[in-house]
Homo-oligomer: A and B are copies of this chain.
Amino acid sequence: MTWIWYPADFEIWLGNRFNNRRTERGAMFPPFWKQDSHWVTVEFSREYDLEQPETIRIYAEGRYNFMFDGKLQFGEPKEWLVPAGRHKLNIKVHNQATPPALFIEGETIQSDDTWRVTHEDKIWIDENGVAHGSGIYLKPGYWHFDTPSNRPSLFQLAREEWQAVATHVLTPQPPDGHSEEKNTTLLVDFGKETMGYIVLNSIKGHGIVELYYGESKAEALDKEYCETLDKLEVEEGPRFVVPESKAFRFVQVVLPKGMAVDSISMEYEYLPQDPLRSGSFECSDEELNRIWQIGAYTMDLTTREFMMDGIKRDRWTWSGDAIQSYLMNYYLRFDSETVKRTIRQLRGKDPVTSHVNTILDYTFYWFKSVYDYYQYTGDRDFVVEMYPRMLTLMDYCLGRLFDGWAIGQPDDWVFIDWVDFPMHKRGIVCFEQILFSKSLETMQLCKDLVGPLSDLHLSNLHLSYPNVNYGAMAERLKKKIDETFWSSADLAYLHALEPTESPEKLILNTQVNKFASMFAILYGYADEKRQQEILHHVMQNPNVPAITTPYMRFYELAALCQLGMHDDVLKEIKTYWGGMLREGATTFWEKYNPEMHGDEHLTMYGRPYGKSLCHAWGASPVFLLGRYYLGIEPTSPGYASWQAKPHLSGLEWMRGTVPTPFGPIRIEVTPHKVCITTPKKIGKGTLFIADKKVKIEAGQTKTIDY
């Protein structure tokens, strides 16, 4: 029994609220992508065969009507007695402001995912008054709104009162009693990066209070350049909570003359998680433990209504950031609901009029994120839900190809990465082709998984390319990529085919960078021989420009682990993420350059505090340690089969848990012994350690010497 709505309507609506809440220096900063809206009128229906009569109670978000056994009833009945026998219920709900939603409370008649929902009946009436229709009936969306009063439109994250660890009075009231002459300025420190609502306690006097937020002390102290601030009218009273949440560790609070507060605290805002479902990591290296913990806290802060990029400045949903959050999440909270919400929100509604976040590569990550989700969770239902929206998004991509290649059209953003070396993003970029090829493979996998859509459903999607063989197209593309971009001289993928002044002529841009090559490894496009060539001539080649964002380091380090370079990667984790810790990080950053010093670290995008100090993509050790050191991953969807390939890489010991749909797998590794505890009902596992290959059954604790 739960509130139900048209699939993705809640996410689309919540996404608008979420993405429009970003501010920059106190100004609303809405996203620059297409924003959709929920369907404003929706019909819910279900047939029941009752043994006993029962009374149902009807709750709706919106105006509604109620049709019982095909007959429309007066008004908006709150209760209805359903007699025994077979009966059909149809309820239409209309709501312009928030998604139409329904809650039915009865003994056996209850709103849940066995109901069906449609947004457009396409009914028409013939001259005899007979209705003809062709609606597409789908499973409804739902989440955890399981009581009538817990309405979807009232959704809020949870809050918890946190005290400051220190409050410094910067400009105290003068002792001579002329207190009304001067402002009081306080600097409040919450001890670590956090997000929530500043609270003023026991307020005396009233006036405009100014708050300058800082992820760093320097930012909070800099009224002119801090990224977020508030100026709020505050009345005398016991407690004032600022209306919008902000991210900060420090806050500079300026009270006007004549005003005072007893203390400043905050309401920490968070998405509750089930601790029993969580992953963990511990080892003999304290720095690594701290890196994992800071990574986990970074993930918890950025896992909210949706998986967001960064909590201070950014506060939007980005597909490239999100797919990494999803992967970290599979090793941390296994919070499938937030993954699904984010995937739905990023996709939005048809028509597709731009790439996801306007970015070509982000569209391709979006496709992959759906199948990644299926691989970790085994949740076919979600693929079934998303598949029609995958079809229309791919149709959009196919309509924008150039000679079969995926290119950035003039209104597309080709992102790849923020790079510190000259790199063009024009023309046919090899990296994008590899992502596009993976997207086509993903389409084929999902098509095979979902099976054919009904003709009616398919025709309602209005595809320009309804009969594409995605798998064959991927194969052709991979061959073309090899022929065009693989250089047997460089033993590397070359960067791009670039346009010249003549639109007909393209020239090869022979730059070698890591992007295409490392994705060729991650996506299994390079055979053993080529993998080694890429390792030596690209990944370990000092002449190839280094990757400097944690965003692409995620893939770089994963690729190196795929190539067996676990020891190097572990050192790199300690150097790079350990480096942030040594700079005092309490969450991981958007970007880290070890050669910078002090407040230089805070700068980005030409702004003194432009860098996000709590950025989801900074938390990749959470993924890397679970996937490549504890070494656990599903080898078929939803852990129907799985493997453990632990790598100590010089650690004395490590232990941890990796969540799965069946519960956590626990693993403990020492140099000569592995102990694995598996949940009941999980599929068959295989432990690979040294030269051993050991079968692991469900619901057992097994110790293996090696």
Contact = CB atoms under 8 A, between A and B. Distances in A.
Interface residues of A, number: 73
A55 B419 CA distance: 44
Contacts of A462: 351, 353, 396, 399
Contacts of A464: 464
Interface stretch (A34-42, A189-197, A497-505): A34-42
Nearest to A75: B26
Contact of A358 (B39, B41, B124): B124
Given A94-B28, A411-B456, A418-B127, A231 B120 contact: no
Interface string A66-96: 1100001111100000000000000010101
Interface in A451-506: 456, 459-460, 462, 464
A66 to B, nearest CB: 7
Contacts of A125: 605
Contact of A28 (B20, B65, B127, B605): B65
Contacts of A73: 27
Contacts of A75: 26-27, 231
Contacts of A607: 129
Given A32-B121, A32-B122, A128-B606, A459 B26 contact: no
A122 B30 contact: no
Nearest to A43: B30
A25 B67 CA distance: 12
A409 interface: yes
A122 B27 contact: no
A175 interface: no
B39 A35 contact: yes
A358 B122 contact: yes
A181 interface: no
A318 to B, nearest CB: 12
A244 B148 CA distance: 27
Nearest to A409: B459
Contacts of A63: 20, 28
B40 A37 contact: yes
B459 A419 contact: no
Contacts of A523: none
A41 B20 contact: yes
Interface string A552-587: 000000000000000000000000000000000000
A456 B412 CA distance: 12
Contacts of A33: 120, 122
B94 A97 contact: no
A672 B125 CA distance: 52
A288 interface: no
Interface string A338-356: 0000000000001101100
A641 interface: no
A94 B399 CA distance: 31
A92 B28 contact: yes
Interface string A594-610: 00000000000111000
Interface in A37-65: 37-41, 63-65
B129 A72 contact: no
Contacts of A396: 462
A410 interface: yes
Given A41-B35, A64-B28, A72-B29, A459 B96 contact: no
A414 to B, nearest CB: 9
Nearest to A132: B413
A20 to B, nearest CB: 5
A65 B351 contact: no
A24 interface: yes
A17 interface: yes
A134 interface: yes
Given A20-B63, A20-B94, A359-B124, A76 B28 contact: yes
B96 A27 contact: no
Nearest to A19: B41
Contacts of A28: 63-65, 76, 92, 94
Contacts of A20: 40-41, 63, 94
A41 B32 CA distance: 9
A13 interface: yes
Interface in A126-168: 127-129, 132-134
Residue among A20, A30, A72, A354 having the largest count of chain B Cβ atoms under 10 Å: A30
A96 B16 contact: yes
A123 interface: yes
A35 B40 contact: yes
B27 A231 contact: no
A460 B63 CA distance: 35
Given A75-B231, A351-B350, A353-B462, A65 B27 contact: yes
Contacts of A128: 606
Contacts of A121: 32
Contacts of A120: 32-35, 353-354
Nearest to A606: B129
Contact of A32 (B40, B76, B123, B350): B123
B122 A411 contact: yes
B40 A413 contact: no
Interface in A354-379: 354, 358-359
A136 to B, nearest CB: 10
Interface string A626-662: 0000000000000000000000000000000000000
Interface string A217-231: 000000000000101
A128 B462 CA distance: 39
A123 B418 CA distance: 17
B399 A96 contact: no
A30 B72 CA distance: 12
A74 B354 contact: no
Nearest to A417: B127
Interface string A399-412: 10000000001110
13 contacts: A16-B94, A20-B63, A27-B65, A28-B94, A30-B65, A32-B123, A33-B122, A35-B40, A35-B41, A37-B96, A97-B97, A129-B605, A350-B351
Sort A-B residue pairs by CB-CB distance and give the 10 closest, nearest first: A124-B413, A37-B37, A97-B97, A351-B351, A26-B74, A134-B411, A32-B123, A28-B65, A32-B121, A27-B65
Given A27-B75, A35-B40, A35-B41, 11 more contacts: A20-B63, A28-B63, A30-B65, A30-B94, A33-B122, A97-B97, A120-B354, A122-B358, A124-B359, A129-B606, A129-B607
